[in-house]
Structure 1
Amino acid sequence: MAGVRDLALPLRDPADLDPLLERVGDARIVAIGEASHGTHEYYAWRAALTRRLITERGFGLVAVEGDWPDCYRVNRSVKHRPGADADPRDALDAFSRWPTWMWANDDVVDFCRWLRDVNAERAEGERVGFYGLDVYSLWDSMQELVGWLRDNEPEHVDTAVRALRCFEPFGEDGAEYAFASRFAPTSCEQAAVDLLHHLCEERGREESEGDPEARFSAEQNAAVVVDAERYYRAMVQGSAESWNVRDVHMVDVLDRLLAHAGDKAVIWEHNTHIGDARATDMADVGMTNVGQLLRERHGLDDVVLVGFGGYRGGVIAGSEWGAQMQRMPVPEARPGSLEALLHEELGRDALLVWSRDGSQPAELERRLDHRAIGVVYRPEREKWGNYVPTVLGERYDAFVYLEDTAPLQPLHLERADEHVPPLAHAV
């Protein structure tokens, strides 16, 4: 059996991604990960692959681990919508939920400016969008939805305002709502569900009227309200339950996007979301994730999962939840880990691509610790934390390995008035 050295391919410039594009073939969904939310090289290589998927393979949308309202503003900019920001940087710089650096950074600006230029040469119906999949934006989504209803369907405004008033006593504190709903006899669940029902029951009549893209956005904001309410209630039941609500929501949004905005999608999320949970210890505690759900819903032939990893370098992260971002060192991977093995065997940047129906190097079939840095990172915990036991060949379909990495460049420091979501998961 060939070893990992025989599998590894050079990785120097975007042309070296040819074998990965061949592996993608006719797949409709390519989920591209990252081993941290604050590393320049992960973002840059992910963008390079996405550019090629859009221009050479006809992928029609990019969906990211971000909030729907924030990312929809970026989407309007890159698609040249009337009244949108002329420069996507302005839309990204407006991100105000911690951790802003995940999307408000130079690498994402470069990609979105490129995407806007590409879209300028395309007919309106063929432009590639940029959308958010996440569930945290309950209050922002509610406000966006109320505003849209006032302008387009005033008969439903009262329903939306009733739902909004249900949440108002908790401010924007999801944790406070979660614990209140745990011990109170009622919650805002029914108000949120009624809101979504009232909005969607008129969809058939409205689809031929007005702005379909704006109406679709309103529906997604309504869906966020419903699932975010479920997410915050699930927080008090344990991390596995709330994690599953969040990842199921993200795949549900993606499925609606595939039906609405194009039949081929690129996903940008952390490895912990896009790598199949069944190949990690996540499954042992009842957690599912985006990668597993994609394979289950769409099949192995239609989904390609691409993981990332690095041996040493630097990262942008917070020392605790809600803390000011800072540049931190990422020490050499701990002995016995996947990254340490690849450093010893390869000692250079490399692309690994494999087929699921053929023999694999032993390194792809062993369970090895695989580094995962979230928005919270403490380098001093490298000896016992920061790693996920992983069977590489089952978790992903391809892997990008980098010897040395550097922190990405945020657009701005965290702001004093920035909204920090309740702590549930640090990836």
Structure 2
Amino acid sequence: MATDIKDASQPLDASALIGLLPAPPRILALGEPTHGEDALLRLRNDLFRQLVERYGYRTIALETDCLRGLAVDAHVTPDTGGPDTDLPDTGDLDAVMEHGFSHGWGALAANRELVRWMRAHNEGRPASEQVRFAGFDGPLEIEAAASPRQALTALHRHLAAHLDADLLPCAADTLDRLLGPDDAWTEPAAMYDAARSVGRSDEARELRLLADDLVALLDTQAPRLRAAASPDDHERALLYGRTATGLLRYHHAMADPSPARLTRLAAERDRMMAHNLLALAGRGPVLVYSHNTHLQREESAMRMGGGLLEWWGAGALVASRLGREYAFVATALGTITHRGVDAPPPDTVEGLLYDLPEDRHLVDPGRLAAALGGTPPAPRESPWFGYAPFDPAHLGSVDGLVYVRNVPRG
């Protein structure tokens, strides 16, 4: 069996990865089983550079706040004008890394290296050949969700700049009055106590209706709006609309006292992710990088709040729309010794691959399944909560499997 498993693997690079697929997909999703490891992010960076140079990929989308990500995109495309962001200087790399990422991702060295490379790559190139950055997560953190103020007011401002005032469903000061103080929206206790959320207040309900009306204007006035603004400006307005309605829906779910509350929150987050990815697919081929759980075709599951949550992740939602134009490549790991994850048991997927030479491999899942025959591998259990082992039951639904034998510290 060892020989057959070795035959199912090959050195990892972009050409080998694309070679596993019928054609380069519109969305190529590369998943990771744990967050915050620079070694995995540098692997991602290497693949993205190769995909750009060999296959014309032009966008990378990361699991980070879609609105903050606009500042990163402005930084890497300095000659295109960039969006109107809240960041004072999108030319300053330190400020962009601090304010342009959520979840603390800006502190990771490999993310800084990615942003620096993208800006250098774009220098002197026409806009059509430049690489772009996007966050595809909502403005959400583990303990809180953002106020919808930024998205709502930016959407209203865009519409007011190009349409007659009598077409707008409200004035800007009406939005400001209904939104109230932002700290009421970002109250951390609301994540676990529905009664602390403002998501089902009278003001929030009215804001949902107004947000829906504003987004409807984007649709009904699309010919005029597209003629009056640049394509990037219009795409940002659509992003503001998706984010405003998504955040208001998320806050509504936060105020839900039912047992399904956390499941609804997980599903709403991935719904926002999926809609952002579908919008990015129009740019041409996109590399998406996120946790395996968000990108897999199978239903996602997680234990949280004392119960089991099950929902369809962004990858499953996008795959149901794009079919084979969505490809998912999962990453599996051998060890993360600095996290207490030691050598895997030999009867797991990770253990069966652990004796392969070299540290990084691309595994053909079909050939691996054939080598395993009728003996399914055992599921691996992680001693560390921050690492999710590859589920052997998913072997038939991934397009490729990246295997990293050892993940070093730093």
Q: Which of the residues 111, 116, 121 maps onto 2:119?
A: 116
Q: 1:389 to 1:74 in 2, by over 3 A?
A: same
- What is the match of residue 168 of structure 2? none
Q: Using the alignment, how far apart are the partners of 1:158 and 1:311 within structure 2?
A: 55
- C-alpha contact (below 8 Å) 1:354/1:398 kept by paired residues: yes
Matches within 5 A, 1:269-348: 269-278=290-299, 286-299=310-323, 301-313=324-336, 328-333=339-344, 336-343=347-354, 345-346=355-356, 348=358
Letter in 1 for 2:9: A
Q: 2:226: which partner in 1? A: 207
Query: What does 1:1-80 align with in structure 2 at a 5 Å threshold?
Result: 3-11=4-12, 16-24=13-21, 25-80=23-78
Contact 2:363 2:403 in 1 (8 A): no
Preserved contact between residue 307 and residue 398 of structure 1 (Cα < 8 Å): yes
- For structure 2, the 5+ residue unaligned runs are 83-88, 166-170
Report the AA paired with residue 297 of structure 1: R
Q: CA RMSD in A?
A: 3.5
Q: Write the mapping of 1:330-409 to structure 2, written as runs, cut at 5 A.
A: 330-333=341-344, 336-343=347-354, 345-346=355-356, 348-354=358-364, 360-362=370-372, 366=376, 368-369=378-379, 379=384, 386-387=388-389, 389-408=391-410
Match of 2:244 in 1: 225
In structure 2, relative to structure 1, the CA distance for the partners of 1:32 and 1:188 (3 Å cut) is same
**1:255 positional shift:** 1.2
Instruction: Determine whether 1:139 maps to 2:149.
Output: no
Q: Which letter does structure 1 place at the counterpart of 2:18?
A: L
Which whole-Å CA distance do the structure 2 matches of 1:157 and 1:215 have between them? 19
Contact 1:67 1:136 in 2 (8 A): yes
Please state if 1:157 is matched with 2:172: yes
In the aligned structure 1, how far is the partner of 2:375 from the partner of 2:121? 40
Structure 1, residues 250-280: CA drift from partner, whole Å, max 9, x if none? 1111112223xx1211111011111222498
CA contact (8 A) 1:280 1:388 kept: no
Q: Point out where structure 1 has 5 or more consecutive residues left out of the alignment.
A: 316-327, 373-377, 409-427
Tell whether the 8 Å contact from 1:181 to 1:187 is kept in structure 2 after alignment.
no
Report deviation, 1:388: 6.0
SS for the counterpart of 1:37 is coil
Is the contact between residue 333 and residue 403 of structure 2 (CA under 8 Å) also seen in structure 1? yes
- Partners in 2 of 1:93 and 1:184 — Cα distance? 32
Kindly tell me: are residues 96 and 126 of structure 1, through their superposed partners in 2, closer, same or farther at Cα, counting changes over 3 Å? closer
Q: Judge conservation of contact 2:152–2:244 (CA < 8 Å) in 1.
A: no
| Structure 1 residue 143 displacement after superposition | 2.4
Tell me how far apart the structure 2 counterparts of residues 281 and 140 of structure 1 sit (CA, whole Å).
26
In structure 2, the CA distance between the partners of 1:158 and 1:248, relative to structure 1 (3 Å rule), is same
Task: Describe the shift of the 1:387–1:125 C-alpha distance in structure 2 as closer, same or farther (beyond 3 A).
Answer: closer
- Provide closer, same or farther for how the CA distance between residues 90 and 370 of structure 1 changes in structure 2, counting only shifts above 3 A: farther
Distance (Å, rounded) in 1 between the aligned partners of 2:342 and 2:390: 17
Q: Does 1:243 align with 2:249?
A: no
> Secondary structure of 2:90's match?
coil
Q: Which amino acid aligns with 2:36?
A: G
| Alignment partners' CA distance in 2, 1:42 and 1:105 | 11
In the superposition, relative to structure 1, how do residues 150 and 295 fare at CA in structure 2: closer, same or farther (>3 Å)? closer
- In structure 2, give the amino acid aligned to 1:366: P
**Contact 1:135 / 1:224 at 8 angstroms: preserved in 2?**
yes
> Which amino acid counterpart does residue 67 of structure 1 have in structure 2?
D
What secondary structure is seen at the aligned counterpart in 1 of 2:287?
strand
| Aligned match of 2:81 | 82
Kindly indicate whether the alpha-carbon contact (under 8 Å) linking 1:371 and 1:388 is maintained by their aligned counterparts in 2.
Answer: no
Distance 2:381 2:51 in 1: 27
1:323 aligned partner: none
Using the aligned pairs only, state the percent identity. 21
Query: In the alignment, which of 210, 232, 239 is matched to residue 194 of structure 1?
Result: 210
SS class of match (1:277)? coil
Shift of 1:334: 5.1
SS at match of 1:69: coil
> Are the aligned partners of 2:199 and 2:252 in contact in 1 as well (CA < 8 Å)?
no
Question: Is 1:93 matched with 2:98?
Answer: yes
**Counterpart-to-counterpart distance in 1, 2:55 and 2:91:** 27
Shift of 1:351: 2.1
CA distance in 2, matches of 1:23, 1:110: 28
Are residues 1:266 and 2:287 paired? yes
Q: Secondary structure at the match of 2:408?
A: coil
Q: Is the contact between residue 7 and residue 353 of structure 1 (CA under 8 Å) also seen in structure 2?
A: yes
Number of residue pairs matched by the alignment: 376
Matched AA of 1:134: D
CA displacement at 1:7 relative to structure 2: 0.6
Checking the alignment, whether the CA contact within 8 Å between 1:35 and 1:271 is kept in structure 2 is yes
Superposed displacement of residue 293, structure 1 = 1.9
* Cα deviation, residue 87, structure 1: 4.7
Gap change, CA 1:148 and 1:285, over 3 Å in 2: closer
